[in-house]
Each structure stands twice: as structure tokens, then as C-alpha cells.
Amino acid sequence: MSHVVDPITGPVLDEPVEAEQVEAPRLARHQIHLSDGHKVGISVAGRGIPLVVVHGFSAEGFLYAQSLSRLVSMGFKVIAIDTAGHGNTQGLPSDGQNLVNYSELLGRIIDELGITHYVLAGHSMGGRLITQLAADRPDEVIAVILIDAIVGDTWDKMVYLFRLAPPLLVGIGAALAIDSMGVLPVFRNPRQAAKLARLVAPTIAGHIARPWRLAGPMISILRSRSSRYALNELADRGVPLFALHGDHDFAVPLRTAREAVARTNGTLVTVHGAGHSWLLRDPESLPAIVGELLDDGLGDACRERLRAQGVRAQDPSVERIESACYEPDARVFALTPQSRRTEVVGRHRRPKYQWQMERPLDPADA
């Protein structure tokens, strides 16, 4: 990638860390009805800047609960949305069109929740959906965080090959299956494996009961337009983009993330030794990376948007932040748990993974 500063590696793993239990807010899980009657599943917690999270293919928002609970303490209201045909969200009236229909539904959900300015984060297929959504609504989006997302020229070429030779999808499916088997750290951390297994079980049960629901999203991936158009729009509109990607992701190669940041002048975070679903395997790594980004470009993007909305205080109150990012009496407020009750979500430790950050060079320093 051209125009980057010296990479930053983190975290340092050679210091002992005292083992402590981590408490985090519970995510409230809801199924709501949109104005047209469409049923939608969402999970919500926290206060502050909206962080809208979109899961990957065959997953659902609540599956990421461990990482998302940790992000709440960073000043975000986390809103995890189940995409059409996943989790508690019903499918689209005409499944199997293209991913634009799925991103449009996400936009409608955000509108009806009363969210006006927000950070988008998406894993795998969710990364492709939020890229399209941000391209359609650049004035609303504060920043885009792609996590092993199916975007970039290499992925677009892969989709073209899948159309010509559908059996090639078997290879991607096998790579994802192998990656999924490694998500549960059964031997390294049995307690974490048990917690994650409890989160995964309802998702698997749902697929067994209604396996046909996944056909629509899969066909839509194959029918969709190349991602470069949406990425080019983000570049033209100056939407900050951060691509987090495992260098052991064999289903969606790291090269796709490099291409995405090259098109958008974004920031690349390479997660070493990580597969496609590393954020599920280790709930500490994603929050730690986001924490570093908040000290850098992501934090700058949030402050810039707040200033544009009239919030100029150095340390604004949560109420002032929310007045700039939500409609008055936004529906999402009523869905956010008011209790401060927390739950133990694991043992405090340093993230399992190390990563390297490559930031775009400031034109003034070129």
C-alpha cells in the first residue's frame, strides 16, 4: 500500500497481567417491527456515539456479544443488527436479488431507530453491506470499520469466478468450515469456549430449523455489483475507513483489505495469526484495536463529526453527544437497557493476537 507511515505493532505481550474478572453491560436483545411490519432483531447496550455492527454470513448480531460488551465502555452505544434472513430478522420479500436490498433494509432500520450519525462496523458479508450503506449515506456515516470484509478487487474477481464455476464455492465453504472449527478455544481456554458455545448454539439451531433462509444472502452475494464502486464513492466523499483483517484468513485473503484501503486512503490493521473469525475466538482483540484507533484516526473522525453538529466542548457530556447523533426521543433509547447491572464476561488478559497498523500518510508530510 502506498503512502503509509511506519507500521505500529501492538500490543506488547511480555508483561504479566493480573487475572481479574471482567464485568460488562448486558446487551438487551429485541425483535422490533418496522413501520411496514418487517420483523427485525437487534441487540443494544450503552450510551454515546452509535456504533452500528453488522455480522457475517450465517451469523447474527448477538453472537458478538462478548466483544461488543467491552466496546460499550469506550463511549459507544452498540447497536448490533441481524441482517435479513439471519437471527431474528425476517427475510426480504424477494430474496436472492443483490446485496443492495440488504443494505437498504439496514438503512431503514437505522432511520426508524432515530439514529442520525453513526460509526459502522461489519464482519465478512456485513463489511460488504456497510460499505454499500456508507456509499449511499456518506453524510451520516462517521467512519467505516471493515473486519475481514468481502470487498476489494480480489474478492470481486473471486465472485466472478464463482458465477462461472459455482463448484468453486465448495472451496470457500471448506475454508470457512475449518476456520469455524478453530473458533472455540477448547484446549487453550475451556471457559471461553463454553461461553462462546452457548452463544453459537441458538444460531446453529436456527439454521437447522430453517436452512433455506441462507440461500437468499448467498445468491445475493453472487449477483451483486463489484465492491469497487462503493469503495470509490467512500474515497470521493472522504469517509474514513479502517480495515481490520487476519493474515491467516484463507477464505477472504488479506489482499482484499489492502486493496480496499488503497482505494479509500484508509488505515489497514493486519491481525497476525488470525483467521476469518478471530474476533469471535478472542473477545479482547477487537476492543483493544478499536481503543488504539480511537487514539488515532477514528477518534479524530468522531470529534470532527461532533464539531460539525455543534458539539465543541473538549469533553462533552453523554447527553450532548447523543443530542448530536440521535433524533429527540429516538426509538433506540427505549430499547437500551437502563439498568447498570453487569455480567462477568471472562477473565481479564491481554489480547491473544498481535497486530500491525499502517496509516495513510498526511499529504502535508508527503
Beta strands 118-123; 49-54: pairing state: parallel
Q: Kindly give the pairing relationship between strand 76-81 and strand 39-46.
A: antiparallel
Query: Does residue 295 lie in a domain region?
Result: yes
Q: What are the distances in angstroms from CA 257 to CA 145, 299, 358?
A: 11, 21, 12
In a domain, 181, yes or no: yes
Sole residue written with cell 451469523: 59
Question: Could you tell me the CATH number of the domain that includes residue 22?
Answer: 3.40.50.1820
The pLDDT tens digits for 47-67 are: 999 999 999 988 888 889 889
Model confidence at 218, pLDDT cuts 50, 70, 90, reads confident
Q: Any idea what DSSP says for residue 213?
A: G
Residue 165: pLDDT band (50, 70, 90) is: confident
Name the domain count of the chain. Answer: 1
Tell me the three state secondary structure of residue 16: coil
> For residue 151, is it within any domain?
yes
| Structural contact between residues 167 and 144, judged by C-beta atoms closer than 8 angstroms | no
Q: Which residue has the higher pLDDT, 22 or 246?
A: 246
Q: Is residue 2 part of a domain?
A: no
pLDDT in tens, 101-141: 999 999 999 999 999 999 999 999 999 999 999 999 999 99
Range of the domain at 16: 8-365
* Alpha-carbon gap, residue 45 to 43, rounded angstroms: 7
- Of 265-274, 283-292, 356-365, give the lowest mean pLDDT range: 356-365
For residue 219, tell me if it sits in a domain. Answer: yes
pTM: 0.87
Strands laid side by side in the 118-123 sheet: 8-10, 354-358, 267-272, 241-246, 141-147, 118-123, 49-54, 76-81, 39-46, 28-33
What's the rounded Cα separation, in Å, for the pair 160 and 172?
A: 14
Q: Is residue 342 a contact partner of residue 25, using CB atoms and an 8 Å limit?
A: yes
Q: How far apart are CA 268 and CA 274, in angstroms?
A: 15
Answer yes or no: is 3 within a domain: no
In this structure, the dihedral spanned by the alpha carbons of residues 186, 191, 196 and 198, taken in order and rounded to 10 degrees, is: 110
Task: Concatenate the DSSP letters of all residues of 231-263 into one string.
Answer: HHHHHHHT--EEEEEETT-SSS-HHHHHHHHHH
Residue 1 counted as domain residue: no
CA distances from 128 to 11, 134, 138, 191, 340 (A): 28, 10, 15, 32, 34
CA 345 to each of CA 29, 48, 133, 297, 340: distance values in angstroms, whole numbers, following the listed order:
17, 21, 31, 29, 15
Q: Which of 88-102, 121-135, 180-194 has the lowest mean pLDDT?
A: 180-194
In a domain, 217, yes or no: yes
